[in-house]
């Protein structure tokens, strides 16, 4: 049963434009994410999904438009800016260090230091392990030990670690790029359960996915992009068959809720 999100947007993207040479990747896209809401972001290849989210996460600087966080204009010039504003992105390749254990990956780049002598610091491994255990327990992630190296984990467990890392430092917006790609059915179910758990704990989430069934199961709202434009922004309603037909119609251009004039 999907719930209605708060009416105040936690993130707004207004008239976002991005060009790569002569290619218009984004042609004036609007997006609003509310507190405690899950948005499914869909579209065919090169529709602009990942580009839009890389703008929000600071990986790309837009050529036009503005971003508002909690109603205030924000300057997101790099991923560190986004992270300071509570925006984290989980990439499709997980961006994990396979030779390090789970705890080290959760704190990667934000290690807890016990003693610092000038430029040399001694990491507080015990603190990081304890905090990682609390985090995995809170998110109901089943991994036998936080000392396991990531290379020994399954694909679903690696995705869970990547998501856990994104939530470890009070992120209020979590972007997931194809979180269930190349996973087994059982692993997909666990990742979707994790999305539900994050929402139940107050997170706001944007999921990029080609798997319509996943979007249908966990999203409150769907946004469909086509050729760098937003063509749909609607609640997820109806049965899965109706939902699939609706999304495909938007993706192939049979339906379009927004005219060219509105996004010029």
* Residue pLDDT, tens place only, 161-198: 999 999 988 899 999 999 998 899 999 999 999 999 99
d(CA 179, CA 214): 10
139 lies in some domain: no
Tell me if 207 is assigned to some domain: yes
Whether the pLDDT of residue 41 is over 60: the answer is yes
- CATH number, domain with residue 16: 3.40.50.300
Q: How many domains does the chain have?
A: 1
User: Is 32 within a domain?
Assistant: yes
For residue 238, what are the domain limits? 9-96+171-263
User: Does a structural domain hold residue 119?
Assistant: no
* pTM above threshold 0.85: yes
pLDDT digits (tens, 9 = 90+) for 93-115: 888 999 999 999 999 988 888 87
Task: Give the C-alpha separation, 41 to 22, whole Å.
Answer: 25
Tell me whether residue 141 is in a domain. no
Cβ-contact 42, 224 below 8 angstroms: yes
Residue 216 counted as domain residue:
yes
Report the relative pairing of strands 64-69 and 9-20 from DSSP bridges.
antiparallel
Backbone angle region of 170, left / alpha / beta, with phi > 0 → left and psi within -120 to 50 → alpha: left
Collapsing DSSP states into helix, strand and coil, what is residue 25?
Answer: strand
Q: Is residue 197 part of a domain?
A: yes
- Tokens 């529709």 belong to residue: 47
Residue 121 token pair: 């610091």
> How deeply is 113 buried, as exposed, middle or buried, from its count of CB atoms within 10 A (0-12, 13-18, 19+)?
exposed
116 occurs within a structural domain: no
Mean pLDDT, rounded, for 43-55 = 95
Per-residue model confidence (pLDDT) at position 176: 95
Find the mean pLDDT for residues 228-235: 96
The residue with greater pLDDT, 227 or 111, is 227
């Amino acid at each position: 049963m999907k719930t209605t999100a708060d009416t105040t947007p936690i993130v707004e993207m207004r008239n976002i434009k991005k060009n790569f040479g002569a290619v218009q990747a984004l042609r004036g896209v609007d997006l609003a994410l509310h507190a405690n809401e899950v948005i499914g972001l869909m579209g065919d290849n090169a529709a602009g999904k990942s580009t839009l989210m890389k703008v929000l996460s600071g990986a790309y600087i837009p050529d036009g438009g503005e971003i508002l966080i909690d109603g205030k204009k924000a300057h997101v010039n790099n991923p560190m800016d986004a992270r300071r504003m509570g925006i984290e992105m989980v990439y499709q390749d997980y961006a994990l260090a396979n030779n390090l254990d789970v705890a080290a990956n959760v704190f990667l780049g934000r290690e807890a230091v016990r003693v610092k002598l000038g430029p040399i610091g001694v990491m507080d491994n015990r603190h990081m392990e304890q905090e990682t255990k609390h985090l995995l327990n809170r998110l109901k992630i089943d991994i036998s030990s936080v000392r396991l190296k990531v290379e020994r984990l399954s694909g679903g467990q690696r995705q869970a670690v990547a998501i856990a890392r994104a939530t470890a430092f009070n992120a209020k917006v979590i972007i997931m790029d194809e979180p269930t790609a190349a996973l087994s059915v059982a692993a997909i179910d666990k990742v979707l359960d994790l999305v539900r758990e994050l929402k139940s704990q107050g997170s706001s989430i944007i999921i990029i996915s080609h798997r319509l069934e996943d979007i249908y199961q966990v999203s409150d709202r769907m946004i469909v992009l086509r050729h760098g434009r937003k063509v749909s922004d609607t609640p997820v309603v109806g049965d899965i068959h109706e939902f699939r037909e609706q999304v495909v119609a938007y993706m192939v251009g049979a339906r379009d809720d927004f005219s060219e004039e509105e996004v010029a």
